[in-house]
Chains A and B, each alone.
Chain A
Amino acid sequence: MVTEAKIVAIVDDDELMRGALQGLLKAVGMQAQTFASAEEFLKSGKHRQTACLIADIRMPGMSGLELQAKLNAERCCIPTIFITAHGDAKMRMQALRAGAAEFLTKPFDDEVLLENVRAAMES
C-alpha cells in the first residue's frame, strides 16, 4: 500500500471550484484528481492512496463532514483541508476536532492552502 504514488483529491460539487483548485495545484507542480461528490470519491477507491484531501462541506448527498466521519470510521486518516462558503465557528471546531488539517472560508488565501497541502504530502 505504501508503495503506491500519493495523490491529492479534490471533492467539490462546484465545477468552477474544482477547476480552479486543480489549476492552482498544477501551477505548483502537483497532480490532483477531482470528484463531484463524496460518494463518487468513496466509490472510486482512490481514498486509499490519497495523501491530501481538499473537500467542500456543503454538497448534495453526503456532506464534507460526513465524509470525514466515514473515513475516520474506516481508520483511513487522510489529512483533510475543508473549504466552505459558510464557515461558522461551530462547524470549524467540529471539523478540527475530528482531525481536519485546516478549515478555510471562501474566498481563501491560496498560499495558506498550498502550505497545508505541502505539509500533508510530506507527512
Chain B
Amino acid sequence: MSFPTNNKLTAAEIKRYALCYGLALASVAAAFVLARMFIYFHLPQPFTSFAMSAIAITFWYGGAAPGILAAVLSILIRTYLFQENISLLGRLGYSVAFIVFAFLMIGVRRRRSDLEVKVAGRTAELTRANEELSLEIAERKRAEDKVRLSEAYLAEAQKLTHTGSWVWEVGGKRALHLSEEWYRVYGFDPSDGLEAWRKRLERIHPNDRARRQETIDQAINNKSEYDVEYRIVLPDGAIKHVHSVGHPVLDGSGNLMQFVGSSTDITGRRLAEEALRQAQTDLAHISRVTTMGELTASLAHEVNQPIAAAMTDANTCLRWLNRDQPDVAEAREAASRVVKDATRAAEIISRTRLLFKKGTPQSELINMNDIIREMLVLMIGDMSRLSISVRIELADDLPEITGDRVQLQQVFMNLMANSIDAMKDADGTRELAINSQRGQNGQVMVTISDTGVGLPAQQADQIFNAFFTTKPNGTGMGLRISRSIIESHGGRLWASDHLPRGASFHLTLPIEAAPHE
C-alpha cells in the first residue's frame, strides 16, 4: 500500500502552478509594455506604479511565490530597462521599495488566507446549521404528518363506532373540545362550533333529562366517573340512544377542573337488542306452543282423570239418593267428592291456559316450589306412562324471587320434558329428582336430575347452543331459551353428569332478581 507522494504532481496542480507563475510573468510584462507605451507617448514615467500593481495582482490572485517572482522581475526591469542613468542609491531605493511592497503583500496575502479560512469556517457552520434546520423541518413535517394521520385514523374510528369525544370545563360549564363525530351524534354541524354543546341539552329526551342530570351532578359532587345512557330527539323527530362516559380531571390540589369523555350513538345496538328480545319472546312462545302440542295427549289424560272420577262420584251420589230410603249422608259425601274432582280439573285447565298466554314479561313474587309443583301436575301423566318415579325435596324456607312466572314455568317444563325424553329409552330405574334449596348469597337453587342417557360426551356445554340437538325432532332451542330466560332473571343454568347415570341441570336465581326491563 502506498499513498501518492507530494513530489508526484497531478495535472491539475501543474496547471495551477503554470497559471500562478504565468500571472507573475504576464502582469509584469503588461506593466513593462504599459510603461513603454507611456514613454512613447511622452507621458510621465510610470513603470513603478504599474509594477506595484502587477506585484499586487500577482500576490492577490497567484500567491506568495509568484508574487515574489513578480517583485524580482520588476526589480530587474526597473534596474536594466528604465533610466539606466540614475545613481546606484536610486536603483537600490526602487529595489527596496519593491521588496518592502512584496513583504507588505505577503502580509496582505496571509490576512486574506486567514480571512478565507474564517469565511470558510463560517460558511461550513452556516451550512451545517442550515442542514440541521432542514432536518428539523423535515422531522417536524414528518411528526405533523404522523399527527395528521393519527387524527385521521381517530376520526375514522370515531365515525365507525359513532363515538364523539369531548372535554368540558366544570366551572365554566362550557366545552373545550368537541370532536367532529360528536356533532354528528347530536345532529349538529361542526361549523356550529363549541356553542353547539350548550344547545345539546334541548335535544335530550324530556323523560331522560332529570336522570341524566342527576348522574352528572353526582359525579361532580364525588369527583368521580360517570356512565349514563339517555335518548336524544333530533329536529326531524328521530330518536337516538346515546351512551356517555365521563372521566374527571383534577388539578394539583385535587379540585375538579374538567370532564373528558365520549358519547356513543348506541341506537343500532339498542334496536338490535330490542329485536333480539322480541325474537326471544316469539321463540319462547313458539317453543311453548310446540311443547304444548306434544303435551296435549298427556293433558287430555290429566283432565280426563278427574272427569271420570266426577262422573263415577255423581252416579254414586244418585244411587244413594235413588234408594227407597235415600241415604243423604252418603250422597253428601259422594257429592263433595264431585266438587273435589271438578276443582282438580279446573286447576289443570287454568294452569294450562297460563302456559299458552303470550305477553311481555311480567314481574311478580314467585315461590319456586309452586312452579315446580305446577309443572309436575302437567308432566305427571307423561311420567307415569313411562314408569318414571318422582322424588321431590323442596326446602320449606325457600325465599321468594322476583320474576316472570310464565317464563320460569316454561324453563321447568323444558327441563322436565328433556329429562323425561332422556329416560324414555333407558333401562333400569327411571327416576326424576327435583330438589330446591336456599343457596349461598341469598340465592334460590334448584336441581333437576334424571337417570337417562346423560349428557353427550365432550359436548356438555354445547347443549346450550342454539340449534344443538341430539333428538330427531328437536329444535335445539329449548335449552338455549331456558338459559336466556334464567340469565335474564340474573341467574345461571348449567348441566353436570348425574352419578351413576343420567344428567343434572342446576339453576340459581337471585332473590333480588329483576327480569329484563
Q: A60-B384, A110-B312 are in contact. Are A23 and B333 (CB under 8 A)?
A: yes
Q: A23-B334, A85-B304 are in contact. Are A58 and B319 (CB under 8 A)?
A: no
- Asked whether, in the complex, the Cβ of B308 is within 8 Å of the Cβ of A85, the reply is yes
The answer to whether the Cβ of B96 comes within 8 Å of any Cβ in the partner chain is no
What is the total of A-B residue contacts with beta carbons within 8 Å? 85
Give 1 or 0 for each of B294-329: 1 = CB within 8 Å of chain A CB: 000100110011111111110110011000000000
What is the predominant secondary structure among interface residues of chain A facing chain B?
loop
- Asked whether, in the complex, the Cβ of B389 is within 8 Å of the Cβ of A61, the reply is yes
Please name all residues of chain A whose beta carbon is closer than 8 Å to the beta carbon of B36 when the two chains form the complex: none
The stretch that binds A, out of B58-66, B337-345, B487-495, is: B337-345
- Asked whether, in the complex, the Cβ of B304 is within 8 Å of the Cβ of A60, the reply is no
The stretch that binds B, out of A13-21, A42-50, A69-77, A92-100, is: A13-21
- Asked whether, in the complex, the Cβ of A107 is within 8 Å of the Cβ of B311, the reply is yes
The answer to whether the Cβ of B390 comes within 8 Å of any Cβ in the partner chain is yes
Please name all residues of chain B whose beta carbon is closer than 8 Å to the beta carbon of A59 when the two chains form the complex: 384, 387
Please name all residues of chain B whose beta carbon is closer than 8 Å to the beta carbon of A106 when the two chains form the complex: 304-305, 307-308
Cα-based distance from A23 to B306 in the complex (angstroms): 15
Q: From residue 383 to 398 of chain B, which have CB atoms closer than 8 A to chain A?
A: 383-385, 387-390
- Asked whether, in the complex, the Cβ of B383 is within 8 Å of the Cβ of A60, the reply is yes
The answer to whether the Cβ of B114 comes within 8 Å of any Cβ in the partner chain is no
User: What is the interface residue range for chain B against chain A?
Assistant: 20 to 34
Cα-based distance from A97 to B224 in the complex (angstroms): 84
What are 25 A-to-B residue pairs whose CB atoms are below 8 Å? A16-B337, A16-B340, A16-B341, A16-B344, A19-B313, A20-B310, A20-B313, A20-B341, A23-B333, A26-B316, A26-B330, A27-B316, A27-B334, A28-B319, A58-B385, A59-B384, A60-B383, A60-B384, A61-B389, A63-B387, A85-B301, A86-B385, A106-B308, A108-B308, A108-B312
Q: Which residues of B contact A (CB under 8 A)?
A: 297, 300-301, 304-313, 315-316, 319-320, 330, 333-334, 337, 340-341, 344, 381, 383-385, 387-390
Q: Which residues of A contact B (CB under 8 A)?
A: 13-14, 16-17, 19-21, 23-24, 26-28, 58-63, 83, 85-86, 106-108, 110
